[in-house]
Structures are given as C-alpha cells and as structure tokens.
Amino acid sequence: MQSERVRVLFVDDEEGNLKAFRASFRREMDVLLASSGPQALELLEKEEIHVIVSDQRMPGMSGSEFLAIARERHPHVMRMLLTGYSDLEAVISAVNQGGIYAYATKPWDENDLKLRIHQAFEIQQLRGEKDRLLDRYTQVFEVSADPIVIVDHRGEVLEVNNACCRLLGTSRDELQQGRFTDYLEDARELVSSLRRHRSGKDFVNVDLTVRTTTGQVIDCLMTATYLGSHGGHRDVFQAIIKDVTDRKQ
C-alpha cells in the first residue's frame, strides 16, 4: 500500500498556481492538472485519481460546487479545498456538500499541504482495503455450506446466508422481518446454554434445536461470536450452525 505513488489532481484557473503546484510536488507524486471544474471532471472519468486539491474561487464553477459533483460521481476519491481566510462559507459548503477531507489556505505551505495529501492518500488506501475485505467476507458468507445468521441481542435477524434460509425453509426477507428465536424449540434454554459455553467473545458448540416452517425438528450445534455494538444501543452476534441430526441418531 505504501509503495504506490499518490495520484493527485490539482484544480486552479490560474496558470501560475498550476505550475507552482507541479514544481513543488511532482517529485513525490503523480500530478495531474486542470484549469476548471468541468475539465477536472473529464480527467476523473479517464484517470485513476487518489486525491483532489481544488481552489475555491474559479469562474463558472466554484471549488465547492466541483467537489460536490466529484463526490457524487467518484466517492472513493479524497477531496481537499484551497481557499482564502475570508471564504468560511465556502469551506462550510465544501464540508456539507463536497464531503472534503481537509482544507488549506492560500498561499499554501508546501510541507503542510504535502502532509495533508499523504494523510488523505493513506485514508483512501485503508478504505479501499476495508472494502476489499468486506467484499471477500461477503463472498465467503454467501457461498458457505454452513448456515450463518447475524442477530442482535434480542434475536432480531440482521443478515442471513442462503444456507440458513435452506435450513429453516424460508426466505431471506421473511427471516429479516422476524426473530431467529421464533425458530427455536426452547429459546429460554438457549440463554443458559450460551452462558455455560462462553469462551471470551465466543460461545462454542451450543446445543440448538430448530423447527422449520414445515414443522421439521432439527438438532444443531451453534458457535456464536460477539461482533460488537451496533449503533451504540444493541449487541451483534454471528452464529454458525451445523445440522447434527444424523450424528445424534
């Protein structure tokens, strides 16, 4: 992640500023230049950009207006605004509409601006890695042969994979509208069983008996993991379930 060079797009209608920016940062970064918001939007369609640094006061399309459009079309690109001390309203607009990471005043301090760009790049890379890991987890979650369900502490279903839907004989939408405990033979016994099988954040090999929508009773073993708090007001757990009916018989 650190070996990749930052690709930064600098947007300013003044030719002198464009030349000054390239001269200051071209040794450490891949610098692309645009003299207006529309020109910058065209570049964003063609080039991979990590960080945008845009001047605020430009004719036709201001920096905050440009960054708002860039956010909508290219949300993964980090955005920064260059502005004067008196443009507080522009900064507020850029924060609210353009979702900027940071702003800097003109004339810019080269070391300060360089640090901000590199920090923005690191955040962009970390977000990309997080998205890749989430995609990988989602793929594993969906193709797993074992039923997996994510619930809150009240038993409400937050997410469920295809294998769990098949086990219970119902659809994902129907499961997410109710509680997982609705499919258990004895929900109260589950609570005490969880306490007996707790190991740190995990609850290993908990006996579970589920009843499907057709009335079939299935003996299962469940391993649950505490995932943390969601929204600050409810605890979230992931449960992996194994059908052990044949084994018990």
The ranges assigned to domains in the chain are 7-139, 144-248
| Helices 110-143, 15-25: crossing angle, 10 deg rounding | 70
Sign of the alpha-carbon torsion through 123, 125, 126, 127: positive
- For the chain, list residues with pLDDT below 50: 1-2
Task: Please report the pLDDT score of residue 97 as a whole number.
Answer: 66
Task: Please report the pLDDT score of residue 38 as a whole number.
Answer: 95
Say if CB 79 and CB 59 are below 8 A apart: no
Say if CB 158 and CB 236 are below 8 A apart: yes
From its phi and psi, is residue 162 left (phi > 0), alpha (psi between -120 and 50) or beta?
Answer: alpha
Task: Please report the pLDDT score of residue 1 as a whole number.
Answer: 44
Q: What is the mean pLDDT of the chain?
A: 86
- Please tell me the CATH superfamily of domain 7-139, with its number: Response regulator (3.40.50.2300)
CATH architecture, domain defined by 144-248 = 2-Layer Sandwich (3.30)
Task: Please report the pLDDT score of residue 48 as a whole number.
Answer: 93
Q: Summarize pLDDT for 66-88 with one digit per residue, the tens.
A: 999 999 999 999 999 888 765 66
